[in-house]
Copies of this chain bind each other. A is one copy, B any other.
Amino acid sequence: MASFTEHYPSQLLSDAVDAISSLPGVGRRSALRLALHLLKQPAENVHHFTAAIDNLRDKARYCRVCSMISDDEVCSICSDRTRDHRTICVVESVRDVMSIENTGQYHGVYHVLGGIISPMDGIGPSDLTIKELTERVSALDDPATAEVILALSGDVEGETTSFYLYRQLAQYGIRISSLARGLGFGDDLEYADSLTLGRSITHRQPFHP
């Protein structure tokens, strides 16, 4: 496979394949296929494609309040007065915000950590926006009537980060919650892992017919 890349008919093609295969999960064969595809498109389409990527990199920024990707200094969610700014949902990444927004069930605001505490990957609390979160919480009026939702993944790193945040935030007297865990809708008992099933039984809820 590696030797497939030896004979490029064109330095321009070789450079483009190098660039495209630098993307995560894109091998050199796929990169060649994509480069040959782009070569066949009208020039204006290709320029539109590259301009969209340059614009994203050059003009997008991170919201001053919640660290979400934003076109402006403050993102569209943080600047939306109809949302509940006293409920802050803490997530790992931009993609988590998009997933939660997509449920249509949440009307508070967010705080994007930009990662998760993971000593194995060399990511500590200072690499994340935890200081910004504590400052944000400390600046709230009457924190006892406000809430932080820890919406991190259920693995070891997620639990560790949640516990760390809980210790940092508890001093402000703010309510701290986390996502409900249990069987997913449509999940089959037979195939559920025992940890999830165990939690689902322990934290069973009143039946609403």
Q: Which A residues lie at the B interface, using CB under 8 A?
A: 3-4, 6-13, 15-16, 18-20, 22-25, 30, 32-39, 41, 43, 45-60, 68-71, 75-77, 93-95, 97-99, 101-102
Which residue on chain B has the smallest CB distance to residue A46?
Answer: B57
Main secondary structure of the interface of A (DSSP, over half): helix
Q: Are B98 and A56 in contact (CB under 8 A)?
A: no
Q: Are A69 and B23 in contact (CB under 8 A)?
A: no
Which residue on chain B has the smallest CB distance to residue A42?
Answer: B57
Q: Are A7 and B48 in contact (CB under 8 A)?
A: no
Q: Are B60 and A53 in contact (CB under 8 A)?
A: no
- The residue that A94 contacts in the complex, of B9, B54, B71, B97, with Cβ under 8 A, is B9
Q: Which residues of B contact A77 (CB under 8 A)?
A: 9
Q: Are A4 and B102 in contact (CB under 8 A)?
A: yes
Q: Which residues of B contact A76 (CB under 8 A)?
A: 9-10
A–B complex contacts, Cβ < 8 Å, 30 sampled: A4-B98, A4-B99, A4-B102, A9-B68, A9-B69, A9-B70, A9-B97, A9-B98, A9-B101, A10-B60, A10-B70, A12-B55, A13-B56, A13-B69, A15-B55, A15-B56, A16-B52, A18-B52, A20-B53, A22-B45, A23-B38, A24-B34, A35-B56, A36-B94, A39-B69, A43-B57, A46-B54, A49-B53, A50-B50, A50-B53
Q: Are A16 and B95 in contact (CB under 8 A)?
A: no
Closest CB in chain B relative to A49 CB, distance in Å? 5
Closest CB in chain B relative to A22 CB, distance in Å? 7
Q: Which residues of B contact A53 (CB under 8 A)?
A: 16, 19-20, 35, 38, 46, 49-50
Closest CB in chain B relative to A1 CB, distance in Å? 11
Q: Which residues of B contact A98 (CB under 8 A)?
A: 4, 7-9, 32
